[in-house]
Amino acid sequence: MKPSIHSTVLFLFVSHFSVQFGSAGPNPEHRKILLKGYDKIAIPSGEAGPIRVQVNGLSLNSIDINEKHQTISLQAWLSMDWIDPRLSWGTETKLENDGYLHFDHGEVWTPDLAVFNGAESTKILEFFGKSQVLSGFNGSVIWVPPIKATAHCELNLKRWPHDTQTCEVKIGSWTYSEDEVNVTLADGPAVNHESTLNNTEWELLGAEARRESREYDCCPGSNYVTIHYKFTLHRKSCSYTYTAVIPLLLIILINVVVLLLPKNRGEKLTLGIFNFLVATIFLLYLSSKLPALDHTPLIVVMYGLNLIFTAIIIAVSAVVINFTDGTPIRGTPKWTHWTFNRTVASIFCLKSLQKLTNAKRDGRSYSFKTGGTAGNGSVAMEDPMLVEQPKPKETDGGNKAEWLYLAAFVDRLTLHIYLNVCISLFFVFYIMF
């Protein structure tokens, strides 16, 4: 049964103090004897086939994602063991052979592990701290170094800031093929994240590991082994809800208010221009926060479209104010008269205004046009034609009512299009994906 990472670390801790303070244990003079003539570059020999380096587990300390550089960074303890016959110092029959000899990791051979998808200038795995290598009487070696690794991670930020990311860190021997150093993965949990420090932005949902052996184009005929550590993290979006999501909803709300304000109020333009500036500022904030990607996050699309729609709403408000300004001398163009239809008015919630407009339009006087003198001298009536003879005041009131109704219709039409686009984008991009 393979040892777990917890049992390995505990065993090392107890063994360390048994060597320092216990009566039983190896003679420290053995270190000098074993290191005399020891070649720390040469691979341990004496076994049949390649040396087998077993990775027992990864005890995760901290993990983080950098969106700007699209990388994942972690700090952890990596537990490994192998057999180095050159470091054997006793036999099984002697009690004093219990315990471990301590070596600095720079004094003996250790695997040249590297991060294959590393994002740093050097891909060699960074071991930090004064970690020691422990050797048993039969040459069994245990090494649990603290490591730092930074790897590339292709991020999917479509649902930012409610996104979930999956990243991999590939660790393996950089120069030794599988025929020389066979890196294996122990049975049992490969990643322990019970002691992981709390991250203010990311929540670790799961971690797993798998072994892969493959041939690379650079080195035909040889397979190289890598251990793939896969991490799934979900963003804690509480802070972004207040700094990005709620402002977007408020911008949408203000645009709706602009379209619902009275048609002849100059505040429509003032509020629209203010909203335009706010949307621009938040787009600049998002551009500084997010990296350049081959896809656009939904929230950026929403801010961008709201910026465009705000500009359109400002233009519509200017047109609407122009419709209702002053006293018109003529009515609305004939091609707009379909908007006075009762069904159209019901759809856009303008039924009461439509009735008032029609009443003012119908409040005009009419007369019949007569013909000229017949051949017998009598006055003959031509075919009667209804001719509109509006009174001046009634004409002005009817024309103004028409333009007021048309202005209200343009506002409501813009409002319907705007809300439908916002809801559709939210549904298609946020719910379906």
pLDDT tens digit sequence for 93-116: 443 556 788 898 889 999 999 999
Percentage above 70 pLDDT, the chain: 74
CA angle 213, 47, 188 (to 5 degrees): 50
pLDDT band with cut points at 50, 70 and 90 for residue 24: very low
pLDDT band with cut points at 50, 70 and 90 for residue 192: confident
Mean pLDDT of 189-201: 84
82 token code pair:
């192998």
pLDDT band with cut points at 50, 70 and 90 for residue 72: very high
Q: What is the pLDDT of residue 432?
A: 56
If 0-12 CB within 10 Å is exposed, 13-18 middle and 19+ buried, where does residue 259 land? buried
Residue (of 11, 13, 3, 149) closest to 73 by Cα position: 149
pLDDT band with cut points at 50, 70 and 90 for residue 121: low
State how far the alpha carbon of 80 is from the alpha carbons of 57, 220, 376, 424, in Å: 8, 28, 127, 53
Q: What is the dihedral of CA 325, 328, 331, 336, to 10 degrees?
A: -20
pLDDT band with cut points at 50, 70 and 90 for residue 241: confident
Residue (of 297, 257, 260) closest to 275 by Cα position: 257
User: Is residue 247 scored above 80 in pLDDT?
Assistant: yes
Q: How far apart are CA 414 and CA 416, in angstroms?
A: 6
Q: How far apart are CA 416 and CA 425, in angstroms?
A: 14
Q: How far apart are CA 138 and CA 49, in angstroms?
A: 18
Mean pLDDT of 177-189: 90
Q: Outline where DSSP puts E strands in 237-332.
A: none
Q: What is the pLDDT of residue 364?
A: 46
- Residue the block writes with tokens 């998002």: 286
User: Is residue 251 scored above 80 in pLDDT?
Assistant: yes
pLDDT tens digit sequence for 389-401: 444 444 455 667 7
Q: What is the pLDDT of residue 1?
A: 42
Q: Higher pLDDT residue, 167 or 376? A: 167
Domain residue limits, the chain: 5-236, 241-369+380-431
Residue 269 C-beta-side C-alpha neighbours within 13 Å: 10
Q: Higher pLDDT residue, 409 or 429? A: 409
CB 264 within 8 A of CB 324: yes
Q: What is the pLDDT of residue 428?
A: 73
User: Is residue 433 scored above 50 in pLDDT?
Assistant: yes
The model carries a pTM of 0.73
**DSSP letter, residue 355:** H
> What average pLDDT does the structure give for the chain?
78
Q: What is the pLDDT of residue 337?
A: 67
Residue (of 234, 231, 250) closest to 242 by Cα position: 250
Percentage above 90 pLDDT, the chain: 31
pLDDT band with cut points at 50, 70 and 90 for residue 240: confident
User: Is residue 382 scored above 80 in pLDDT?
Assistant: no
CATH number for region 5-236: 2.70.170.10
pLDDT tens digit sequence for 79-97: 999 999 888 876 544 435 5
Q: How far apart are CA 87 and CA 109, in angstroms?
A: 10
351 token code pair:
């039924």
Q: What is the pLDDT of residue 237?
A: 79
CB 75 within 8 A of CB 145: no
Q: How far apart are CA 18 and CA 98, in angstroms?
A: 10
Residue (of 56, 88, 47) closest to 180 by Cα position: 47
pLDDT tens digit sequence for 326-360: 556 566 677 776 676 677 777 777 766 666 665 55
Q: What is the pLDDT of residue 320?
A: 84
Q: What is the pLDDT of residue 354?
A: 62
User: Is residue 11 scored above 80 in pLDDT?
Assistant: no
